[in-house]
């Protein structure tokens, strides 16, 4: 099903020519243009995504070339404007694609590390992002209902640990790059989120009361519901004396693209998308959200400590590689961060 937003009139040949000119650093002429939806109904709440295919020629070369990319822009609705203004979600993401990612890659490449964290940006404005279409390289979403197996979890934790480590080092070198990522995702000011979360928790308690197999959770759920506002505010309270990183902020399987190797019947890589909720704070934020939303339940129950240890090993390896200054976080430190942010 198509999303509940139109293909906007301004998403047209003129805009695509502007993007091409900036990307190629040349004057381009579009010979053929195809614009389609890139997602299905219900996949996105704040952003409209379009898949665009262009055939074009450059003034400097008569040979026709092809380009396929994803265009991301806010859904045109008053509520989205309100959320955007309150959280700077599009500014956060444009800052990551416009500067932070490239600075991270520079740090890594200096040490011979070619890690890639997400799709390459072709064009960046505050509320307009053109990025490479990774489906061409055989990357795909697994689906929001899909839980990740052991191998997939290791791929994710490797990538997230490198992201956390690289941003921690970059923050030491250029803290000004992260100015847009200090605003808490939940605070006294986010009154509409208080209402939304409160209603969701009330619905969960109602569902719990009607399911005998869930009765053991009733008291805990009721206690959390009565205090969820201060608990979630604490999650987004940063302790500058502790190890801090740039969290992805919405780290679950539906914001990950996995590269499938059909010939070898395995998953080779994962890239992260949707950096709108990035927050500079405890790595426990990302780790809690990932573990409890995206991991196969048996794996979570039986290999929880091993998963955190795997993350910690990769984190330390990258911090040492990049010359992190200060006390390196121990496995116990990471475990404590996860516990301290357990209400996320």
Q: Is residue 68 part of a domain?
A: yes
Going by pLDDT thresholds of 50, 70 and 90, the confidence category of residue 42 is low
* 60 and 176 housed in the same domain: no
Least trusted range by pLDDT, from 32-46, 96-110, 313-327: 32-46
What tokens appear for 17 in the block? Answer: 């020519």
Express each pLDDT in 152-169 by its tens digit: 999 999 999 999 999 999
CA distance 135 to 282: 32
pLDDT digits (tens, 9 = 90+) for 308-327: 999 999 999 999 999 999 99
Q: How much is the pLDDT for 92?
A: 94
Residue 7 counted as domain residue: no
Range of the domain at 41: 13-87
* Least trusted range by pLDDT, from 124-128, 141-145, 268-272: 141-145
Please report, rounded to a whole number, the percentage of residues in the chain having pLDDT higher than 90: 76
Whether residues 250 and 324 share a domain: the answer is yes
The structural domain count of the chain equals 3
What's the CATH code of the domain at 272?
Answer: 1.10.510
In angstroms, how far is the first alpha carbon of the chain from the final one? 32
pLDDT at 1 over 60: no
| pLDDT bucket at 140, cuts 50 / 70 / 90 | very high
Residue 20 lies in a domain: yes
Higher per-residue pLDDT: 38 or 84: 38
**Chain centre to alpha carbon of residue 321:** 24
CA distances from 279 to 31, 93, 185, 208, 282 (A): 42, 11, 7, 32, 9
Residue-averaged pLDDT of the chain: 93
| Band of pLDDT at residue 335, cut at 50, 70 and 90 | very high
Average pLDDT, integer, range 231-253: 95
In a shared domain, residues 317 and 258:
yes
Q: CA-CA distance, 45 to 18, in Å (whole number)? A: 27
Residue at 153 is within a domain: yes
The pLDDT of residue 144 is 82
| Residue 72 sits in the same domain as residue 215 | no
Kindly indicate the confidence band of residue 56, based on its pLDDT and cuts at 50, 70 and 90: very high
Q: Is the pLDDT of residue 78 over 90?
A: no
Strand-strand pairing, 47-58 and 61-74:
antiparallel
The DSSP call for residue 323 is T
Task: Copy the structure tokens of residue 228.
Answer: 């969820």
| 246 and 315 inside one domain | yes
pLDDT band at 193 (very low <50, low <70, confident <90, very high): confident
**296 and 230 within one domain:** no
In a domain, 119, yes or no: no
pLDDT of residue 210: 84
**Last residue of one domain, picked from the residues 169, 200, 234:** 234
- Does residue 172 share a domain with residue 268? yes
Shared-domain flag, residues 310 and 265: yes
Q: Is the pLDDT of residue 18 over 80?
A: yes
- Same domain, yes or no: 243 and 291: yes
Tell me, yes or no, whether 170 and 193 share the same domain.
no
pLDDT, mean of residues 120-149: 94
Average pLDDT score over residue span 127-137: 95
The model's pTM is 0.93
């Amino acid at each position: 099903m198509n999303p509940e937003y139109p293909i906007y009139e301004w998403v047209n040949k003129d805009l695509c020519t502007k993007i091409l000119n900036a990307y190629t650093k040349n004057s381009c002429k579009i010979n053929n243009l195809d614009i389609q939806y890139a997602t299905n109904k219900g996949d996105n709440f704040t952003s409209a995504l379009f898949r665009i295919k262009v055939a074009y020629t450059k003034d400097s070369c008569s040979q026709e070339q092809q380009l396929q990319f994803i265009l991301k822009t806010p859904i045109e609705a008053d509520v989205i404007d309100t959320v955007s203004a309150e959280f700077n979600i599009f500014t956060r993401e444009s800052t990551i694609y416009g500067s932070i990612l490239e600075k991270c890659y520079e740090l890594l490449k200096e040490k011979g590390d070619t890690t890639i964290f997400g799709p390459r940006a072709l064009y960046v404005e505050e509320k307009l992002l053109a990025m490479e279409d990774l489906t061409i390289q055989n990357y795909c979403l697994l689906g929001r209902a899909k839980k990740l197996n052991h191998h997939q979890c290791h791929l994710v934790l490797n990538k997230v640990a490198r992201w956390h480590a690289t941003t921690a080092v970059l923050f030491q070198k250029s803290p000004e790059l992260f100015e847009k990522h200090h605003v808490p995702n939940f605070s006294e000011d986010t009154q509409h989120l208080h209402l939304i979360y409160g209603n969701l928790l009330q619905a969960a308690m109602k569902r719990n009361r009607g399911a005998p197999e869930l009765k053991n959770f009733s008291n805990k759920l009721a206690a959390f519901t009565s205090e969820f506002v201060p608990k979630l505010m604490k999650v987004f309270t940063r302790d500058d004396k502790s190890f801090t990183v740039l969290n992805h902020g919405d780290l679950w399987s539906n914001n990950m693209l996995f590269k499938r190797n059909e010939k070898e019947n395995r998953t080779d890589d994962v890239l992260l998308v949707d950096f709108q909720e990035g927050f500079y704070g405890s790595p426990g934020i990302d780790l809690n959200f990932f573990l409890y939303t995206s991991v196969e339940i048996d794996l979570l129950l039986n290999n929880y400590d091993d998963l955190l240890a795997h993350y910690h090993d990769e984190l330390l390896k990258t911090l040492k590689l990049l010359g992190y200054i200060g006390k390196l976080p121990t496995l116990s430190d990471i475990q404590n961060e996860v516990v301290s942010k357990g209400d996320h």
